[in-house]
Homo-oligomer: A and B are copies of this chain.
Amino acid sequence: MPLADRIEAALQSAVGRAQEGSAPPRLASALHYAVTPGGARIRPTILMAVATACGDDRPAVSDAAAAALELIHCASLVHDDMPCFDDADIRRGKPAVHRAFGEPLALLTGDSLIVLAFEVLGRAAHHEPVRAAQLVLTLAQRTGCPRGICAGQGWESEAKVDLSAYHKAKTGALFIAATQMGAIAAGQEAEPWEELGARIGEAFQVADDLRDALGDRESLGKPVGQDAVNGRPNAVLEYGVEGAVRRLKDILGGAISSIPSCPGEAMLAQMVRAQAERLTPVAPVRSRA
């Protein structure tokens, strides 16, 4: 089965179980709404690519890891869109969860998706308890505080921001989770895979900054120009458009050279190159820098 189909099947199976039996109907609907249709599923795709490159000897464990990671990402989008953060109307081309279902259910949807991620990993222990427990620990560390996306978002409530900690946690954490969880799911050490995840995360951040600043609303799937409006750090405001594009290419080069030696090394390098093309912004753009 193609990786993309495995990811969707694992996600739908997880969400389906959360909707069973005595689930309150509106919350059950909101869970599905928040997860489907997805964006590019870039984090679980990277996870699956690393697992495949490492041999993928327990596909059920990789599937669970990929679903868990994407569920955390979807949860973070639901909570980030809420009025007390971005107050976003639109996500992935349709009304944000809090607009479609109201604030109480948006809060609960995010909470439920976080919990569901760990439930999926708990079930995978049936196949491989040691790997499942390592996946739980890695995903938790990259989601919570001090090194996860919660910490990253938390920096936006500080008067004085540690920019390096902010970017690494806010965007980088789930990419590090992606590469490390892919390795763990396939029975490999996590540590050598941290750098690849960190570099992909940096590249993604610069690309996101470019799309935000250049007004590429369609591929961003959310309102543009938000960083300037909200006074958030942005690589384009810092380096200019050309500087940011150059930086993006440098980071992706570094990512490729950081790939640990493994059976699927060449395939992984190809995947990073493909993501690089996807990430580089396309015309029409209007320069703001």
Contact = CB atoms under 8 A, between A and B. Distances in A.
B130 A115 contact: no
Interface string A97-137: 00001111101101110111011011101000110111011
Contacts of A154: 23-24, 26-27, 105, 108, 112
Main secondary structure of the interface of A (DSSP, over half): helix
B104 A85 contact: yes
A28 B146 contact: yes
A145 B107 contact: no
A88 interface: no
Interface stretch (A13-21, A195-203, A247-255): A13-21
A150 B23 CA distance: 10
Interface stretch (A157-165, A228-236, A259-267): A157-165
Contact of A144 (B112, B138, B153): B112
A140 interface: yes
A96 interface: no
B141 A119 contact: yes
Residue among A119, A129, A132, A162 having the largest count of chain B Cβ atoms under 10 Å: A119
A166 to B, nearest CB: 8
Residue among A114, A115, A158, A165 having the largest count of chain B Cβ atoms under 10 Å: A115
A182 interface: no
A82 B108 contact: no
A22 B136 contact: no
Nearest to A126: B133
A23 to B, nearest CB: 3
Interface residues of A, number: 65
A103 B143 CA distance: 19
Contacts of A104: 84-85, 153, 156-157
A118 B132 CA distance: 12
A148 interface: yes
A211 interface: no
11 contacts: A18-B144, A22-B146, A24-B145, A75-B111, A84-B107, A118-B118, A121-B136, A122-B136, A122-B140, A125-B134, A129-B132
Given A21-B146, A101-B157, A115-B150, 19 more contacts: A18-B144, A20-B146, A24-B157, A26-B157, A27-B150, A79-B107, A84-B102, A85-B104, A85-B107, A108-B150, A108-B153, A115-B143, A115-B145, A116-B145, A118-B139, A119-B140, A122-B140, A129-B130, A133-B133
